[in-house]
Amino acid sequence: MKNNSNEHIIRPPKGLVDIDLPEIWRFRELLYVFAWRDIKVRYKQTFVGVAWAIFQPFITMVIFTVIFGRLAKVPSEGAPYPIFVYSGLLFWNYFSGALTAASDCLVANESIVKKVYFPRLLLPVSTAVTPLIDFAFAFLILVGMMIYYHFTPSLLGVVMIPVLLLISLVASSGLGLFLAAVNAKFRDVRYVLPFSIQILMYVTPVIYPVSIIPPKYQWLIFLNPMTGVINCARSLLLHTGAMDWTQFLISTAVGFGLLILGVTYFRKTERFFADIL
Amino acid sequence: MDKPIIEINGLSKKYQLGEREPYYSLRDEITRILKFKRPTKSREDFWALKDINLSIKQGEAIGIIGRNGAGKSTLLKVLSQITPPTTGTITMRGRVASLLEVGTGFHPELTGRENIFLNGAILGMGRKEIKRNFDSIVDFAEMGQFIDTPVKRYSSGMYVRLAFAVAAHLEPEILIVDEVLAVGDAAFQKKSLGKMEDIGKQGRTVIFVSHNMTSIQALCKKGVWLDKGRIVEIGDMSTLVANYIEHTVNNPNAHGGDNGPLVIKDVCLKNSAGHKTTDYRPGDDLTVEIHYNAREKVVYPSFWIAVTSHYGPMFMASMLYDGSTPTHLQGKGIITCTFPKMPLLPGLYGLQMGVRAQDISEDIVPTREIGLFNIIGDMKDAGFAGANADQMLGNSTKLVIPYQWSLPNGEPRRFQIRSRTIK
C-alpha cells in the first residue's frame, strides 16, 4: 500500500528554494501537454498558420534590405545584405518570441495556477517549444538563401547552430522567467514588454554589423547575449570575419547569468503566485 | 495504515489586505516611492485560517461547512499546495488530487477529446491513465458524437458534464472537492453525487466542501465546522449540520446580509396543526414561518423559499414568479408560506431562502440554508404499494406529482402521494 515515499510535508516557505528536479521529472507529462496545447491552439482555425513562421521573417528581411541595405547603405561585412540581415532575424525572432511567451505565461494561465498544483516552472519552460518550431521553419529559408548565394558553412558553423539556439533559449528563458514572476504582480509588463523588445532589437546587431561600433565600445553590445549568438552565426556560416571568442564568451556568460537570475527570482516568488495573480 | 493520512498541525494562513488589490502597477509603486510614502503599514492582517488542528484517517469522508468567508476554500487551497501556509505543518501520506473548479484548463479552441487529455493531465492523470479511462469518461459525460467538436461550441451543460466526467475518473488516494457538484441539471447532479459516493466507498479519503447541507450529509459521516478561520466543532456530520443551521438562523449577525436593513430573526417549520416540527409524513402540509425585522423601510422585498434535496432545489415558492411582493416592509413581522400536501417521498430535505431586491440581480438577504426536515414513513404510507418501492427509494426521484396510467386492459390507475392531512 502506501510507503514512506508518499509522505509529503507542507510547510511555510523559508529562504531560497532550489529547483526540485525530481519533481519536474514526475510532472514531465504535463510539460508535454502544455507545449502540445500551445502548438495545437496556434494552428487551429488559422489559414496562414504554419506559413506565418516563414512569411514574417522573410518579409521583414525584404523590407529591411530595401531600407537599411539599399537606401541607408548599412554595411554587411562582405555578405549580401539580405542574407546578412536574415541570419540575425532568425535568431532574434526566436529570442523575442520565446521571451514574450514566457513573460506572459503565468498571467495567461492564471486560472490553472490558481486551482491546481504543479511545479510552476513547467509553464515558462513549455513556452520555449512553439518558437522552436517557428525557428525550424524559418531556418529552412536560411538554408535556401545560403544555397542561392553559394555559401558553404564551415563544419564548426553547422555544429554551432544548435549551440547558438541553446544560448538563445537560455537567455530568453532566464529573462522570461524573471519577467513572468514580475508580471504576476505588476501587470505593466504586458504593455511595457513589446516596446522594450523593439528597442532591444536596435541594441542587438540584427540590422547592422558589430563592426560599425567603435572597437572601444564594442564590449557594451556584447553584454547582450544575442550579440554573441548572431555574430557567431554570421562569422561561421557567412564567413564575415574571424570569430572573437572572448567577446562571444562574455555574451554567453551574460545569457547564463540571466538564467540564474530568472530561475532564482521565479522560485523565490513561486509559492505566492496563486495569491497575487 | 495506522498513521492518519492527513495531519494538520497549527495551521494558519495570513493574507495582507493591501495585497488583495486586483492589479498592481509599477507606475503606482514608483509614484508611491517617489512621494516618500511608507508602504501602508495599516495593511490589515487577515487571518483566513487560524490554528487549525485536524487529523484525518484513511478512507474517511470529511465534510467542511461554514459560512461564506469562513476559510473553507482557503483550507482546501493550502491542502492542495496552491498557496503556502503561514505557520504550521501539514503531513500528507498519499497522492492528492484537487477539484476546486470544474473544467480547469479547458481551452475553447480544442475539441472535447483534446480537452480530456489536457484537463486530465492538469488534474494529475498520466497519459496512459487517461487513455484507459477515455471511453468511460465519454460515456459518463454522455457526449458521444460531440467529442470531436471544439469545446467553444458546447452548451454550458455539455461543458460541465465533460469537465466533471474527467474529474470523476481521478484515482488519487486523497480527493479534495470544492462545491463542484452544484453544476448541471438535476439528473447529472444525481449522477455526480452517486459517483462521489462510489469514490467514498472505494476507500479513498475525501475532503468535501459544500453549501448543500443535504448532499454533504449524504456523503460524509464526519464534519468540520469552520467559522472566521477557526474550527468551531469537529464531529458527527448530522449533529454538526444541525448545530450550524441553528447557529446561523438564530444569530442575527451571522451573515453579511444580516447587517442590512432586513434581518431574518428566526425561521420555524410548522405542520398543519401549527406545531413546530421537523418531521412530516408524505403529503403533509409544510408551513415556513419567517420572523423578520425590517430595521429600515425595505421596498419591494421579494421572498423566495426552495425545498431542496440531495441533488438541489426540488420546488419553490417565489414572489418573483407570483408577483405577491409586498410594496414595503417595516419593523418586525412574520411572513409565512405554506406548501400544501407536499409531493415528497420519505427522505431528508433542506430549505433555502433568500430575499431579492427590486433590482432583481441584487439580494437583500443572500441565499441561505434555513433548516432541514424529514419526511418519515414508508412507501405504503405514502400510497405506493409496489413490491420494490422501499428499495428503489434510495436511487430515485423523491418528488411525485399526481399521474395516471392507462393499460391495454382495465381501468386507468391514478396515483399520487396520499395525504393524511385532515382539512
pLDDT tens profile B319-370: 999 989 999 999 999 999 999 999 998 888 888 899 998 877 788 888 888 8
pLDDT band at B423 (very low <50, low <70, confident <90, very high): very low
Range of the domain at B421: 254-423
Of A12, A40, A117, the CB nearest to B86: A12
pLDDT digits (tens, 9 = 90+) for A76-125: 888 899 999 999 999 999 999 999 999 999 999 998 998 888 899 999 99
Is the predicted pLDDT of residue B90 greater than 90, yes or no? yes
Any domain includes B283? yes
Q: Which residues of A touch B101 (CB under 8 A)?
A: 111, 115
Of B24, B89, B105, the CB nearest to A11: B89
Of B82, B91, B121, the CB nearest to A114: B82
Any domain includes B287? yes
Tally of domains in chain B: 1
Q: Do A188 and B93 touch (CB under 8 A)?
A: no
DSSP H helix total and E strand total for chain A: 13, 1
Q: Which residues of B touch A188 (CB under 8 A)?
A: 25-27
Any domain includes B365? yes
Any domain includes B176? no
Q: Do B85 and A6 touch (CB under 8 A)?
A: no
Any domain includes B180? no
Chain B residue nearest residue A109, CA to CA: B105
**What is d(CA A258, CA B147) in angstroms, rounded to the nearest whole number?**
44
pLDDT digits (tens, 9 = 90+) for B51-86: 999 999 988 899 999 887 788 989 999 999 898 899
Radius of gyration of chain B from its Cα atoms, rounded to whole angstroms: 25
- Select from B20, B25, B33, B58 the residue whose CB has the most chain A CBs within 10 Å, as the one to mutate to test that interface: B25
Where do the structural domains in chain A lie, given as residue ranges?
17-276
The size of the A-B interface in CB pairs under 8 A is 115
Q: Which residues pair with B12 in a beta bridge?
A: B87
The answer to whether B59 contacts chain A (CB < 8 Å) is no
Any domain includes B51? no
**What is d(CA B409, CA B162) in angstroms, rounded to the nearest whole number?**
44
Single pTM value for the model: 0.73
How far away is chain B from the Cα of A46, in angstroms, using its nearest Cα?
11
Is the predicted pLDDT of residue B394 greater than 70, yes or no? no
* Positive or negative torsion for Cα B347, B350, B351, B352: negative
Percent of all residues in chain B with a pLDDT value above 90, rounded to a whole number: 26
Tell me the pairing of strands B286-299 and B87-93.
unpaired
Cell representation of residue B338: 405554506
User: What is the average pLDDT across A182-196?
Assistant: 89
The answer to whether B182 contacts chain A (CB < 8 Å) is no
**In chain B, which among 101-160 make CB contacts under 8 A with chain A?**
101, 104-105, 107, 109-110, 114, 117-118, 121-124, 126-127, 150
Any domain includes B20? no
Cell representation of residue B103: 473544467
User: What is the average pLDDT across B201-209?
Assistant: 87
| Interface predicted TM-score of the whole assembly (ipTM), two decimals | 0.83
**By the 8 A CB rule, do A205 and A88 touch?**
yes
| CATH number of B286's domain | 2.70.50.60
Any domain includes B351? yes
